[in-house]
Amino acid sequence: MTEHSDGAGTEAGAGTGARPRTGTGTGREAGAGTEAGAGTGTGTGWEAAQKTEAQESSTAADAGARAAPEPEPKPEPKSKPQPELEPQREPEPESEPHPEPEPQPRPGAARRPWVRWARRTALGLVLALVLPVLAAQTALRVNYTGDPADGTHTRGKDAIWLGHAWVDGRKKDADVTALARRLETTGIRDLYVHSGPLEHDGTLPESRYPRARWFVDAMRDAAPRIRVQAWLGDVLATESPDGMRLERPGTRAAVVASTRQILAVGFDGVHFDLEPLHSGDEDYLTLLDSLRGVTRARDAQLSVAAHQIDPLPGFHSFWGTVAGHPKWWSQEFFGQVARRVDQIAVMSYDTMQPLESTYGGYVAQQTSLALEVTPDSTDLLMGLPFFHENRFGHWNHAETVPAAVRGVRLGLSRTDAGRAGFGVALYVDFAAEEKDWTAYREGWVR
């Protein structure tokens, strides 16, 4: 039941007991009346009164239920204030612990193992290339240390490459006189004067050297001890479709004929510079054998410009694979060439060395390698850089004449300090500066 229903029942009870009784009767009846509601009346009207009261009570109760105002709720008895309790919550049903969500891969994460592999591979390749280079550079720097042996100076068998101006009419008598005067204070004995180049088929047009005889005669008058050799060369078709092809017998025969032709002018020898000449070229060796017969018959010199020697065994093969240009010769091939000529001049410049110390150490190494395989019957000459360029392969600040001279002396000291058939070759007269001549005289001639 609601509070409102309880209130309605109470009000009905109150109406029944509220009616006063005013009649008289017997004691039992009076007692009954009194007990029923403290009313008075006679015994004979009790039933009627009882009915009447019952009807009235019912009517009053109905009316009270309909019309009586809703009783105000009785105030509850005051009690000690109780501490306010938080409403109890029904315990939530225990749920199974949710597993931690797995991290979702970031975009491209599927490729990460490949990226790591690529990076590690790249790092491995870099280390494989850098570490040997650093080790080689350190070794060259160490090779540049120490003191050259006493007596490692000129033997009077040096040489210099001269430009084409000496045989095409640009140089005059005064130039010859000045050249002869400069040579007096040097150890130079041979001049390699440019008189070519050869045609790709091996022929040599006479128009290439119109003043060659004049120069040869003028030098004999001005400096009788000097030998003048014709410098002939050409580009070989070893790395491009254009150039001379030594594998062709007709081409080699034409080169031999051109040698006879140029020696007839009066030259004291012929100097060949054919590039790029790969290590192990058997056709080149065959050509040298043929040329040697010609020069010996005329008591003339046969000399060649030679590539550098492998700084590490087989390095020319590695470089040929990587760069397409096997710059170096094997030491074995160098020895094969040296045994077929009277002079061999190493082009010990354009070395790609970044420092003066490493360049000097490299020249010392090249000197030793060349001395080990060059017979005593052949004069070995090491090239000095009398030119100044900055480009890939040649750094002017590194490849200096002082560094080259010191490197030559160190290599000579360590390998064959007393060798007589040894010298240096200066490249080239038209690019030389006065400081180059000074460094050559002070470091090598003394």
Which residues pair with residue 191 across a beta bridge? 160, 228
pLDDT on residue 351: 96
Q: Which two tokens stand for residue 80?
A: 């000690």
Q: What pLDDT does residue 279 have?
A: 97
DSSP letter, residue 242: S
Residues of the chain where predicted confidence (pLDDT) is lower than 50 = 1-70, 77, 79-80, 83, 85
Q: Which residues contact 378 (CB under 8 A, 6 or more apart)?
A: 338, 339, 341, 342, 343, 344, 421
Which residue is associated with the tokens 């080689």?
136
Strand partners, 68: none
Q: Where do the H-state alpha helices sit in 94-172?
A: 112-143
Which residues make Cβ contacts (< 8 Å) with residue 54, sequence separation at least 6? Answer: none
pLDDT reported for residue 3: 41
pLDDT of residue 111: 58
At 137, the amino acid letter reads: Q
- With beta carbons less than 8 A apart as the criterion, state whether 261 and 204 touch: yes
Structure confidence at residue 181 (pLDDT): 98
Residue 396's identity, in one-letter code, is N
Which segments of 184-324 does DSSP mark as H helices, in order? 212-222, 249-263, 282-297, 315-323
Whether the pTM exceeds 0.75: the reply is no
What CA–CA distance (Å, rounded) separates 105 from 103? 6
**What was the pLDDT predicted at 8?**
38
Q: Residue 397's pLDDT is what?
A: 97
